[in-house]
Amino acid sequence: MKLRWFPAAIGSATLALATFTSPVLCYAQGTQTKADATESLESDEDSVVVVAINAIDTVVPNIQHVARMVGAGAGAGAVSTMVNTYSNGLDRTRPFGVFLSLDDSGNPAPVGCLPIADVDAFFDQLSVFGEKEDLGDDLYEFNIGNPIYAKKQGDWLYVAQTEDALEEISDTLGASLVKMVGKYDIRIQVNPQNIPEEMVDLFIGQMKAGLEQGMAANQGNLDDEDAAAAKQASEQMITQMEEGIAGTEKVSIGIAINKPEKLTVIDFGSQFVADSKYAKQVEKLKTAKTVFGGVPQDGSMMTLQSFQLVEADEIAQLERSLEAGLKTAFKSIDEKSEDAASAAKAKELIEKAVDILVESAKQGKVESAVDVTAQDALGIVASIGVADGSKVEALAAEIAAEISKQNGPAKLELNTGKQGGYNLHKLTVKLPPEADESARKVFGPSVTVSIGTSPKSVLLAVGKNSDAGLKGAITRAAAKPSAQAEPVKMRLVLSQLLNYIQSIEATPISEAMLNAATSGNDRIMIDTQSVPRGLVFRLSLEDGVLKAIAAGVKAGQSAGGGF
């Protein structure tokens, strides 16, 4: 089906996309704020996809702002000129958008929604493409090779490919757009529950057929056990897909350019069907606590926190995935090892490590935290929750015994001390003579890993100052033993990363990016918020990040190289 229901000029004016809505962390234009967590698109329309775009007078300046930062001001000027040329008759202070539904045959039936101020002026500017025909009752036909239809209803103009699509336009559509983009430049929403059941069945059927064809084509490369495992994994994937479609009410994306705070925000949100397993998991997350909230520290080059609830039915899937991975790893060990006994011991130790991970997941959660500093030297601290720290220590003892037998460059010292409920250990691996100079700048003559084990957690610190890094993390974790858990939270200070890269091995690209990055305004951030029956993931890019990326691309094009 051809969607030529608007000429190119009008297409640029309406940006005929489709808007999602979800309750999300929002940035108001000009001020940072949190939206009401219950805010959502509540209308009686049955759109599968909706696209809402904020008012022209809001969006165009924001686009120009970003374009100037990335060195594309001339292109933004051309877009602005085109929009200004073809926006006569539109209300530039209200949003516009598209509602996409499916007709009885499953074909897309888009309806554009324009804020109209003067319908005659709007059509007059389009006379170069064709003349409108007034059909009466505020209904118009506009022929550009294929007829399109427009209906004025209140202070909105609705546009569609057929006259029938405009017969029962809801008065709430325009108001929905206003609500959707109150704090965004663009907001998109997909409503899976409005997809006809027969179309979902067709999609799932095609997925099954594709997977079966793939397995049949690969059958000669798999033994019976692998084929059965592959089939089981495929069936599990299809089941999860069906559960995802059935259990998801809304999926949304929102983009906001915040000029006063020099920030660009992209929100990804999902709201789940009431009483679905996903909605129940989200409710559990609201009260979940992490013991690693103190590990990340302010001022670090990068921090990362992760927290995931694990349901009982997910454990079996995890075990199957790990089993398949182990089989591949063990096959590689057998092929490369010249000592059968050493290979058997290596596989035994790996299996024990995997068993520790699975046992930990069976506790109902998987949590970790990472802190990376680079002021004097690179320092990495990582923490992970475990079900039984004593098993980690027992495994470490076995590994230490094996290392001592090999008389190689690695040395593992156990129980070198205690601090804050942790037993301390240290692994040292000498760099080989052929190691390059960059590795020696990062680690020194040896890679040193300081390890702390407690009954429920393991801490690792890597770097020249690993002992101090480990003890500092233990102290911080003890000072903050319980904090609100977030599925993902990340901070990266780009200028610190670029400075460190330059100190190890300077390149034209990293130098250009560093020169362009604005100190104090160059963070990349990821946050998560729980909302009613849903989650929102927010990616925030400060203006200095966009400037640095643009400078890096330009330098790369000039130098023809990478980092």
The whole-number pLDDT of residue 196 equals 86
Q: Does the CA dihedral 42-47-49-53 come out positive or negative?
A: negative
Of 210-219, 280-289, 470-479, 490-499, which gets the smallest average pLDDT?
210-219
pLDDT band at 559 (very low <50, low <70, confident <90, very high): low
Instruction: Identify each DSSP E strand in 206-354 by its residue range.
Output: 248-258, 263-272, 289-290, 302-309
Residue 34: pLDDT over 60: no
| pLDDT (mean) for 70-85 | 80
The whole-number pLDDT of residue 2 equals 30
Closest by CA to 15, choosing from 131, 156, 142, 187, is 187
The whole-number pLDDT of residue 13 equals 28
| pLDDT (mean) for 69-95 | 85
The whole-number pLDDT of residue 227 equals 75
Q: For the segment 356-414, what is each residue's pLDDT rounded down to a tens digit?
A: 999 999 999 999 999 999 988 899 999 999 999 999 999 998 888 888 877 778 889 99
Q: For the segment 127-139, what is each residue's pLDDT rounded down to a tens digit?
A: 878 788 999 999 9
pLDDT band at 45 (very low <50, low <70, confident <90, very high): low
Closest by CA to 553, choosing from 143, 116, 70, 85, is 70
Closest by CA to 149, choosing from 115, 127, 123, is 123
d(CA 96, CA 324) in angstroms, rounded, equals: 50
| pLDDT (mean) for 268-291 | 91
| pLDDT (mean) for 51-59 | 95
Q: What value does the mean pLDDT of the chain take?
A: 85
Helices 312-336 & 340-361 angle (0-180, nearest 10): 170
Of 84-98, 222-236, 310-324, give the range with the top mean pLDDT: 84-98
Q: For the segment 455-478, what is each residue's pLDDT rounded down to a tens digit?
A: 999 999 999 999 999 999 999 999
Residue 549: pLDDT over 60: yes
| pLDDT (mean) for 174-196 | 92
Domain ranges of the chain: 8-194
The whole-number pLDDT of residue 407 equals 74
Q: Report the 10 Å Cβ neighbour count for 368.
A: 18
Residue 217: pLDDT over 80: no
Q: For the segment 228-256, what is each residue's pLDDT rounded down to a tens digit?
A: 777 777 888 888 888 888 899 999 999 99
Residue 39: pLDDT over 60: no
Q: For the segment 508-546, what is each residue's pLDDT rounded down to a tens digit?
A: 999 999 999 877 899 999 999 988 999 999 999 999 999
d(CA 506, CA 433) in angstroms, rounded, equals: 23
The whole-number pLDDT of residue 18 equals 26
pTM, whole model, 2 decimals?
Answer: 0.85
% pLDDT > 70, the chain: 90
